[in-house]
Structure 1
């Protein structure tokens, strides 16, 4: 199994690659729509601090409980008595919700890839109607975008089936390329920044019903979107079972978070100085449009090319992550046994196939409406699916500090207990902020509750296993 082990740099690249994916390209527009510049800045500050607390929790748990690998959702079963029905149900439902969130994650990355590919192939945004089925009109751009998304998904599937190490190296190369490219973007944007584009630093926003949205509500709304930027911070933790050295998991998590934080805040704020608020809100490719105001169409194409490389790497990382979650859970006995099957390269073949088939179904959202609308819908639903496992990890971390399990010094328990409490408070805050919209709450809840339909299959598999 040593040939399947991952080192510090590959783990760090997985963290950065999964965090700095679709969000960095589309969030400037989403944030400008949700909040004024002041609201965006305060949302970044709150989210950055909250996610840092979560990262410290993930790093600590990975070292203290190395046998529990596969993601933050796996700790749900540890909140109940070992071997109890409650432990099994909690582990299964938490894994289901987190897995669905991961699938939505790579779909968001893939749709963003197609959005940036349209810089080179404008036909991908064509509104020419090809076919009308009832009330649904299929436009040429949407159909072609769906085809491109599907090709990218199954091409990535083929790469991942050949082994974790090769896929990890490709992700590392793409991640290194995009970090260098985004640093150049930040340098250029600093010199071209126009303060007049920012507009009123503190200004109300308007809801769909026409009501005015104040600063605090803007921060709450932007907090869900900014959290999407950090989804993937737990990537090293998910691959804990494949890490060469356990301490590398914590180091890779913190390093990946800090690098991503600098890139995200720098790019999202500086883009506001390249485009007016109205231009930013209307943009389908905000970074490309922003750099084009400075370097012209050539600069826009350069950035779009960088985006495509970046998103290719992110797609690999996200597909790997999505398959690893139910695979590790199945090995721990809290997910369907068939998901624990591997191919000759040590890859979770059943998990990969099922995850990507579900992703293909979710890609149907690109057939109607704009890619930016599909992106917004997916990230809000997926973010809520992630928050429950994040909260579970924080609560389990708190449980360890209270019982003293794995701790030798009282002072260390107090410090890490405080970190766990802050992480739990942050997770609860974003859950409350994100579920303020009833439609979003019900859709997110439906995704998680749907897992109960498959729970009997887990019980049946365990029953058959005992009989054999």
Structure 2
């Protein structure tokens, strides 16, 4: 090796093209979530509620995509978007929380991928169960570390594989949509319009789907997170918008066409990945196999993209002195190996926890979504500050303010939709992370907290304590 993993001399960064970055956005979003959409939506709402939910989610996430596009152009000096925007807008400690929350959500999300892969194979290999048996965790561990060594070889190799996998996994999903349209039963679809008796009011139906839509859209910020590797800065925003619009059309279609195959009460009881069960009901056993193979390819591709992004956020935060210095290290292939190692280790920890979880996939999916809301809220808030802080009325100022404002309102609604349970659990995850912040401050010989940061620290500790008490007392359940 020409350099060790702890070398802090930065080699020339690999430069990514527009299409490569678009593939990273699509590859980041098209993962486990799309294959679970039929069941997750059918558990909450019917066709009308689903359409409303997708309009809200699509509009809100489009505003976030525009936020990342605008900030990528107006603040080209800020790398690793989500984290950097939070720090620039609200200070070092909120920026640290954003970096940690985004990173932790990626690690938890990666666990859902392995659980779903093993659950899929578990349909023919009962020893794997729902992806949470000892054998399933052991096999997932092998895959986890195999990807670590693959990505360690270099960014160019990993992103090249991601482009191929992105194409390979989108094709089965498009075929599912076409076949479901062909076999769609108008009567079944009509019966599913209003939703089943268990669905509740239309507002509650829509609210119940919000965290699901957040999870499937995670990755819309993928190009901005990896912006330091872009060949042209303007490609970051263009890749974000094109990737989002493409994936949004696919996700909404998968959800809606499923209502024309089975009654929603039956879809709600399907084994995950529920897309496989829907297609099996339409075309027979081969449909289940077809979707299952597509899922494995899709999930492995999404895992690759998310592992890349998780390590990148830690690396850039360490370069900015907001994480301990050991996370700055890169190897000769421009891979931040210490950050990659820590990301893999945290995923391993969450993977072991699935052995003790009753519904590991659903809880990890929702927790992943909840952890990203604070980083998204801070990024949207920063976009508002940038729009308000510009001198003069210049063209686009009002547009930027409206986009930032709508994105902020949308994420605030998502926090409300998540409910107290996931807000408190998020505090439990966030609060102990301050140890890393303290390590970085000690390395720099700086005071641990400013007065404002101390207030935020106290709030996070209080929230974590309340969360632990609520879990112990049975007020909330995992």
User: What is the TM-score normalised by the length of structure 2?
Assistant: 0.86
- Establish whether residue 291 from structure 1 lines up as the match of residue 279 from structure 2: yes
Q: Write out per-residue CA displacement over residues 317-346 of structure 1, whole angstroms, 9 at most, x where no aligned residue.
A: 111111111111111222222111101211
Matches within 5 A, 1:362-401: 362-368=350-356, 373-401=359-387
The residue that corresponds to 1:236 in the other structure is 223
Could you tell me whether the CA contact under 8 Å between 2:37 and 2:254 is conserved in 1? no
The residue that corresponds to 2:405 in the other structure is 421
From 276, 280, 288, the equivalent of 1:300 is 288
Could you tell me whether the CA contact under 8 Å between 1:204 and 1:214 is conserved in 2? no
Matches within 5 A, 1:92-111: 92-111=96-115
Matches within 5 A, 1:143-292: 143-198=134-189, 199-203=191-195, 206=198, 213-284=200-271, 285-292=273-280
- Offset, 1:440: 2.2
From 16, 19, 24, the equivalent of 1:9 is 19
SS at 1:241's partner residue?
A: helix
- Cα RMSD of the aligned pairs, angstroms, is 2.0
- Establish whether residue 112 from structure 1 lines up as the match of residue 116 from structure 2: yes
Could you tell me whether the CA contact under 8 Å between 1:20 and 1:229 is conserved in 2? yes
**Unaligned segments of structure 1, at least 5 residues:** 81-86, 127-139, 207-211
Could you tell me whether the CA contact under 8 Å between 2:192 and 2:263 is conserved in 1? no
User: What is the TM-score normalised by the length of structure 1?
Assistant: 0.88
Measured in 1, the distance between the counterparts of 2:68 and 2:307 equals 21
From 459, 465, 468, the equivalent of 2:441 is 459
Could you tell me whether the CA contact under 8 Å between 2:127 and 2:133 is conserved in 1? no
Could you tell me whether the CA contact under 8 Å between 1:36 and 1:205 is conserved in 2? no
From 340, 356, 360, the equivalent of 2:348 is 360
Q: Write out per-residue CA displacement over residues 182-240 of structure 1, whole angstroms, 9 at most, x where no aligned residue.
A: 2111111100112343434223664xxxxx73110111121121121101100000000
Could you tell me whether the CA contact under 8 Å between 2:21 and 2:236 is conserved in 1? yes
Distance 1:145 1:330, change over 3 A: same
The residue that corresponds to 1:443 in the other structure is 425
Could you tell me whether the CA contact under 8 Å between 1:34 and 1:205 is conserved in 2? no
Measured in 2, the distance between the counterparts of 1:182 and 1:200 equals 22
Measured in 2, the distance between the counterparts of 1:283 and 1:68 equals 44
Measured in 2, the distance between the counterparts of 1:235 and 1:335 equals 21
After superposing the two structures, state which structure 1 stretch, 46-55 or 96-105, moved more. Answer: 96-105
Measured in 1, the distance between the counterparts of 2:276 and 2:192 equals 24
Number of equivalences:
434
Could you tell me whether the CA contact under 8 Å between 2:132 and 2:354 is conserved in 1? no
SS at 2:16's partner residue?
A: coil
SS at 1:18's partner residue?
A: helix
Q: Write out per-residue CA displacement over residues 43-101 of structure 1, whole angstroms, 9 at most, x where no aligned residue.
A: 11100000000000001111111221113132222224xxxxxx222221221111111
After superposing the two structures, state which structure 1 stretch, 230-239 or 321-330, moved more. Answer: 321-330
- Establish whether residue 432 from structure 1 lines up as the match of residue 416 from structure 2: yes
The residue that corresponds to 2:457 in the other structure is none
Could you tell me whether the CA contact under 8 Å between 2:196 and 2:265 is conserved in 1? no
SS at 2:445's partner residue?
A: helix
- Offset, 1:2: 5.5
The residue that corresponds to 2:35 in the other structure is 25
- Establish whether residue 124 from structure 1 lines up as the match of residue 135 from structure 2: no
The residue that corresponds to 1:84 in the other structure is none
The residue that corresponds to 2:60 in the other structure is 50
The residue that corresponds to 1:39 in the other structure is 49
- Establish whether residue 404 from structure 1 lines up as the match of residue 390 from structure 2: yes
SS at 2:238's partner residue?
A: helix
- Offset, 1:311: 1.1
**Unaligned segments of structure 2, at least 5 residues:** 1-10, 447-478
- Offset, 1:278: 2.6
Measured in 2, the distance between the counterparts of 1:3 and 1:68 equals 16
- Offset, 1:401: 1.0
The residue that corresponds to 1:351 in the other structure is 339
Could you tell me whether the CA contact under 8 Å between 1:117 and 1:308 is conserved in 2? no
SS at 1:69's partner residue?
A: coil
Measured in 1, the distance between the counterparts of 2:229 and 2:185 equals 47
Measured in 2, the distance between the counterparts of 1:54 and 1:169 equals 27
List structure 1 segments (4+ residues) > 6 angstroms apart after TM superposition: none
